[in-house]
Chains A and B, each alone.
Chain A
Amino acid sequence: MAHALSANAIPAAAISGERLAPRSRVLTIAGIVLLVAGFAMVRTDPGFAAKAWLQAWLFAVSLSLGALFFVIIQHLTRAGWSVVVRRVAECIAANLLWLWLGFLPIAWLWFDGRLDTLFPWANLDHLREVAPEEAALVGKKVAFLNPGFFMIRAASYLLVWALLARFFLSNSVAQDSDRSVARSEKMGKWAGPAAILFGLTTTFASFDWIMSLNPAWFSTMFGVYFFAACCAGGFSAIALMSLRAQSRGLLKDVVTPEHYQDLGKMLFGFGIVFWAYIAFSQYMLIWYGNVPEETTWFMARQIGQWRIVSAALLFGHFVIPFLFLISRWTKRWRGTLTFGVAWMLVFHWVDLAYLIQPVIPHDIGKYDTYDALLAAYANEAAPVLNPGLIALSAGMLFLLVGRTLARLVRTGLLCKGDPRLAESLRFENF
């Protein structure tokens, strides 16, 4: 391309994060204020407060996991095109170094003996009283679903993620000054094991933290679903942060429509189409099998207002963004891509609400027909627009963006020592 920047010609001001520092402080403080305010709003209802916190925290975690997967897959495939957007991804993923703090409230519930506020399996005796049949099923899972093992697993996921994020960020930052090709080779070599570790930890974390909210229900596809959701959120976050940095005059001529188009393609492939493929596969198998202990999970998402949320997810997370982002032009124009990825972030959050918030009614077995169930629970509320939940989620998001910016201030916005930087700068789609 005629006006591609050469690696030596990038002005230092274009890749220095200095001017992001004030924004990072404002966002961090706003995030903490919103978290406190949100907590004040939800604390009267401990059950909802715990779920609201879980959703807000997992929103931030899933964005970081999506970004971590992006970094791993770039090294695994030795991708050249993505070098100019990789630092942003590395810095979003590096939030996993502090996001473990968000698990402390759940750890405190465990320490306080109230883990069943969130997870019914933590108090089998109580579950036996309210839902004996469910308790009988859950009782067979205690070897896995018990508080001690649960905490050990959680600690191991959080540790693995922090180590992975640190490994890829610190090597990349060190490469900025030493320009060592060996570092790229080292990261490429470890990307394989990292991908395996990432897959296992993400899958089991989603089993533990989301699927076990309804402990009698199970789906082997659930981990993949959560992974696809992470991609939807994480890839959108990478694209949005690059777009925002560019509209503040950074990364000028470094990130081009060519890179945006490819980010858009990855979001389209993993976050929209693959997500829908997995979501539908999970739904169809359960719908076809029609086994009561499996269908209850979807029943809980079709009663009352959850019916609207399910439909909104089908159209907002798949049909509309599919048609919107399928074109080459919407992925290349900054305005349309900004709209598309912001839209996907909103619906990724709705997706988490859909996964976490609904409660399967304990008396679901007593209704003879689907219609009778719908009629009985016609007024079931979906607390998606609960101000406390929104405040907590916005707080976590602000904190995430604020800390990402703070890290970008320290590391700079570009992997300027990467041997594939020149290839990335002149990258062009055919």
Chain B
Amino acid sequence: MTTFAPSSPPASAQSAPRPKIHGVLAEFHDPASLLHAAEKVREAGYRWWDCHTPFPVHGLDKAMGIQRTILPLLVFGAGLTGTTVGFILQAFTNATSISVWALVWVTGYPFLISGKPLISLPAFIPVMFELTILLAATSCVGLMLLLNGLPWLSHPLLANKRFLRATDDRFFIVIQSRDPRFFRSRTEDFLKGLGAKAVEAVEA
């Protein structure tokens, strides 16, 4: 972020800035103390922070103050889009002719099948249904990744030896350095005060 004027001399070794850090990592040994600490971190007003646990911990969302996701609404919209697209696709291709904004005339393939009308809703429903499911399911996964800011090719936490046990038997709170309330020594003391068994900085 910092820009140097081209004429200024390189910073001397003595006043070299400390290495940039991703944030501060606090390790807990059981879900209960993690839950308790998460409540305190939320109350302290931190915003750029997260918990990492080897298994889902009940009540953690509430302790962290995480809002409910809008994903279900988006998926519902995607499903409705699928239904509509499914109908329009078939009605359009079955129609004898159709004018697109009265500019382009398109001729379709009017297939008469066993004497059914060209626009036959019962025959269209399987395709409408499948497209509803297709768009709802794929958008559900896709939007979930998008809302979570995924995928990441790498993450600073993955280089941390201590953090490896987040998938085994340790519980972590990570407060990121980008948080406006983050101040390294103060944040580290704060986390130690919450009963963390170990606190250390994570290199960026």
Contact = CB atoms under 8 A, between A and B. Distances in A.
Interface in A304-323: none
B122 A1 contact: no
A423 B5 CA distance: 64
A331 to B, nearest CB: 12
A288 B125 CA distance: 12
A287 interface: yes
Contacts of A328: 72
Nearest to B115: A290
B122 A2 contact: no
B72 A1 contact: no
Contact of B58 (A283, A290, A326, A428): A428
A284 B125 contact: yes
A272 to B, nearest CB: 15
A402 B16 CA distance: 83
A284 B126 contact: yes
A430 B59 CA distance: 9
B76 interface: yes
B123 A288 contact: yes
Given A328-B72, A428-B58, A290 B114 contact: yes
A288 B59 contact: no
Interface in B100-139: 114-116, 122-123, 125-126
A328 B58 CA distance: 18
Interface residues of A, number: 13
Contacts of A283: 122
- How many chain B residues sit at the interface, stated as a range, is 10 to 19
B9 interface: no
B56 interface: yes
Nearest to B72: A328
A377 B130 CA distance: 37
Nearest to A283: B122
A111 interface: no
B58 A284 contact: no
A288 B58 contact: no
Given A287-B122, A288-B122, A328-B72, A1 B114 contact: no
Contacts of A290: 114-115
Interface string B51-80: 000001011000000000000100010000
Contacts of B72: 328
A280 interface: yes
Given A284-B125, A287-B122, A426-B58, 18 more contacts: A1-B58, A2-B59, A280-B122, A280-B125, A283-B122, A284-B122, A284-B123, A288-B114, A288-B116, A288-B122, A288-B123, A290-B114, A290-B115, A326-B76, A328-B72, A428-B58, A428-B59, A430-B56
The 8 closest A-B pairs by CB, nearest first: A284-B122, A287-B122, A428-B58, A290-B114, A1-B59, A280-B125, A430-B56, A1-B58
Interface of B: 56, 58-59, 72, 76, 114-116, 122-123, 125-126
15 contacts: A280-B125, A284-B122, A284-B125, A287-B122, A288-B114, A288-B122, A288-B123, A290-B114, A290-B115, A326-B76, A328-B72, A426-B58, A428-B58, A428-B59, A430-B56
Interface of A: 1-2, 280, 283-284, 287-288, 290, 326, 328, 426, 428, 430
